[in-house]
Amino acid sequence: MELPHPAEEAFAYLVDPRRRPEWQSSLLSVDVPEDEEPHLGQTWTELTVVGVRPRLEVVEFAPFRSWAERGTWRGVEATLRLRFTGTREGCRVVAEGEVSGAGMYAVAARSSGLLAGRAIAADLKTAGHRIAQRSEG
């Protein structure tokens, strides 16, 4: 996804779990202290629109370059990595993810993994609009 914002601005917004419900369509809320800044090892719980409450942890944190989280819920584990590259017009954000499941969760994990790419692209587009609104306001 190409965003018309500097990598520093996009990184700061996208990796902050407190901001996630603003742009991630699958989220209703996050449980993270309001004054806690994003950092390696940060953990939180989310409430999704389907009622799932995964536990997440930041497993990679290289400011303005890359960030990754690992989420778990029952027999499902998912990872999401965002890579940021500055461009002349702003930045490029590349999202990479993987979803796996064990036992009775294997089929659900595979299905959600197949749908995730489009959802992530749409969410990043929404995030770009939200960053622009914040910059204007």
List, in sequence order, every residue forming a beta bridge with 81; answer none if it has no partner. 68, 96
- Each residue of 62-76: pLDDT tens digit? 999 999 999 999 888
- Each residue of 117-135: pLDDT tens digit? 788 889 999 999 999 998 7
The pLDDT value recorded for residue 134 is: 85
Q: Where are the domains of the chain?
A: 2-136
Q: What is the CATH number of domain 2-136?
A: 3.30.530.20
User: Residue 115 contacts by C-beta under 8 Å, 6 or more apart in sequence?
Assistant: none
The pLDDT value recorded for residue 68 is: 98
Taking alpha carbons only, the member of 58, 53, 104, 106 closest to residue 79 is 58
The pLDDT value recorded for residue 114 is: 55
The pLDDT value recorded for residue 102 is: 81
User: Residue 12 contacts by C-beta under 8 Å, 6 or more apart in sequence?
Assistant: none
Residues with pLDDT less than 50, the chain: none
